[in-house]
Amino acid sequence: MSVKNVAVIGAGVSGLGAIKSCLEEGLEPVCFEMSNDIGGLWRYEEIPQSGSPGIYKSLTCNTSKELTTFSDYPMPDHYPNYLHHSKMMEYLRMYASHFGLIKYIQFQTKVCSVRKRPDFSSSGQWDVVVEVDGNQKAYVFDGVMICIGQYSEKYLPLQDFPGIKNFRGKYLHTWEYKHPDNFVGKRVVVIGIGNSGADVAGEISRVAEQVFLSTRQGTWLWTRVWDNGNPMDATLFTRYNRTVQKFLPTFLINRWIENKLNARLNHTNYGLQAKHRFLSHQSTFGDDLPNHIITGRVLVKPNVKEFTESSAIFEDGTEENIDVVVFATGYTFSFPFLEDEATLNSQHSLFKFVFPTHLEKPTLAFIGLLQPVGATIPTSELQSRWVVRVFAGLKKLPSESEMMANTNRRKQKMANQFVKSPRVVHRVQYIDYMDEIASEIGVKPNLLSLLFWDPKLAIEMFYGPCTPYQFRLQGPGKWTGAHTAILTQRDRILKPLRTRVLKQSESASSSLSWIKSVCAVICLCIPVLVSVYVMHHLTLA
């Protein structure tokens, strides 16, 4: 039996990649999207629809473009390295129209239920019910790909904050936060120092009377702009680094990076000191935050113990008058349309975060349900490429017990590696995970053999940023442009920065390089001359 038609639920970046992957394998996708547009999280809306992701007006990617791209569709070379959400939408629209994906999407169609058919154990089919304009419609599908994201249901832990119900000011979640206009002259406390908390606190602090940034755990602040002004991920996420890291004990890597981050900003003095080591928890992008702290616009505070009608009392006993509380406390997720949530316990028992381990037929898959330390688009895309191979019957999954064993081993490993947190159960290392899924599909690059027939490419792949094009060089879904895309990736990183280029005659570089070569020759000669001189004297003596 081979699968023919596939329901793709959601048209965010994961859903778009899923549609494209279905088409690559000759499957027939039907994508249901409850909103009226593609893009999911990246589509900014002043008033987000309940059940959809909500972002703020200034949101900018924290992963750089060369590592965030779809693997066979590089971003235009003039795009900045870190995209504003509107630019990301522009890219997604180009991608969707280039590969003709829009015609497979049914907008304003919400999936309400996904149930096994009575003959599921032989057919593997699903009954899918959707709602359009208040009317229900039923379909039968051979496969289902769930791409609904994990940032739609706000996590608002009011129970942890006694007194918040009597607080007379306003409180909101970052899901609702759009821009700082309503915060002019206000005294604001932001709860939580994740990426959103740090962004929002900094942004509000420009207009507010005072912003307090409250954190229980502290955090490590890293930056988009890394050494020499290069994008952080493009510098650190290389195969070379990953190889080195595998040989080093974790504490040494932690020490190296923590020292580096502390050299930029003493985390203790800034009140940010984390209770965990760098590698065991998510870090926060803080290019701007130190600036807001050193100018006093943002004051870092411990956890809020309780709220009164008009103030917040912190765990250190201090009390501050407050007008607005912003909860930057993250998100939870669920799958209300699935019948047996417990059996589909997506939290823990998904084989490689994709396939439920206990189904008689592997015809249901979760895409994008992980938190890569790195970009989502390429990891989701690889998951989809694997899933369609399985759906099409070209690739078999291991037995249920093997999948369970694999899943349990991973859980154990993660428990040792990462700080326990109910909402961070899907953390994976970007390169490792992509290689793992790529091996399933047969598209993991073989660097050793590449070193023989294309050493230049192999060297860039090993020392350069580990970009998604690497998974399009061979095997199913091979793209002939991948080779060039890898060799030109550094040009695309530099192009948007070099917007003021001096002419040769104006720049000092030509004379400089002349001086440099002379210096190099002199430097090389000195030791030679010295040793000749010493030898000469020794032989004389």
Ligand X SMILES: *[C@@H]1O[C@H](CO)[C@@H](O)[C@H](O)[C@H]1NC(C)=O
Contacting residues toward ligand FAD, per CB under 6 A: 9-15, 32-35, 40-42, 51-53, 55, 59, 61-63, 68, 110-111, 147-149, 151, 196, 337, 368, 375-377, 380
522 binds, among ligand X, ligand FAD, none (CB under 5 to 8 A by kind): none
In whole angstroms, the minimum distance from the beta carbon of 384 to ligand X comes to 20
Q: Which does 477 bind (CB under 5 to 8 A by kind): ligand X, ligand FAD, none?
A: none
Q: What is the smallest separation between the CB atom of 369 and ligand FAD, expressed in angstroms?
A: 8
Contact criterion met (CB below 8 Å) for 217 and 274: yes
Is 194 a binding residue for ligand X by CB under 6 A? The answer is: yes
Scan residues 20-79 and list those touching ligand X (CB under 6 A). Answer: 62-63
Among ligand FAD, ligand X, none, what does residue 268 contact (CB within 5–8 Å per kind)? Answer: ligand X
For residue 535, the tally of other CB atoms under 10 A from its CB is: 10
Rule CB under 6 A: say whether 266 interacts with ligand X: yes
Residue 194 CB, shortest distance to ligand FAD, in Å, is 9
Residue 390 near residue 362, CB atoms below 8 Å: yes
The answer for residues whose C-beta is within 8 angstroms of residue 257's C-beta and 6 or more apart is 220, 278, 279
Q: Is 235 in the site for ligand X (CB under 6 A)?
A: yes
Number of residues forming the site for ligand X (CB under 6 A): 19
Q: Which is nearer to ligand X, 125 or 380 (CB)?
A: 380
| CA–CA gap between residue 120 and residue 137 (Å, rounded) | 20
The radius of gyration of the chain's CA atoms, rounded to the nearest angstrom, is 26
By C-alpha distance, which of 139, 128, 192, 155 is closest to 364? 128
CA distance 359 to 126: 12
Q: Which two tokens stand for residue 99?
A: 């590969």
Q: Tell me which of ligand FAD, ligand X, none is bound by residue 41, counting a contact when its beta carbon lies within the kind-specific cut-off of 5 to 8 angstroms.
A: ligand FAD
Using DSSP, state whether 87 is helix, strand or coil: helix
Q: Which two tokens stand for residue 103?
A: 């015609």
Q: Which is nearer to ligand X, 8 or 431 (CB)?
A: 431
285 φ, ψ (degrees, to nearest 5): -80, 120
Residue count of the chain, please give it.
Answer: 541
471 binds, among ligand X, ligand FAD, none (CB under 5 to 8 A by kind): none
The tokens describing 466, both together, are 């580990």
467 sits near ligand X (criterion: CB under 6 A): no
Dihedral sign computed on CA atoms, order 52, 58, 63, 66: positive
The C-alpha torsion from 389 through 395 and 401 to 407, rounded to 10°, is -40
Residue 236 binding target from ligand FAD, ligand X, none, CB below 5 to 8 Å by type:
ligand X
The residue (of 62 and 215) whose beta carbon lies closer to ligand X is 62
Considering the complex, state which of residue 457 and residue 493 has its C-beta at the smaller distance from ligand FAD.
Answer: 493
> 68 is in the binding site of which of ligand X, ligand FAD, none (Cβ under 5 to 8 A by kind)?
ligand FAD
Report in angstroms how near the CB of residue 449 gets to ligand X at its nearest.
23
> What's the min distance (Å) between Cβ of 153 and ligand FAD?
10
Residue with tokens 């859903």: 15
Neighbours of 35 (CB within 10 A): 21
Using CB under 6 A, pick the residue from 262, 332, 429, 474 that binds ligand X.
262
**Beta bridge partners of residue 188, listed in sequence order:** 211, 324
Name the residues that contact ligand X, by CB under 6 A. 62-63, 194-196, 235-236, 238, 241, 244-245, 262, 266, 268-269, 282, 371, 373-374
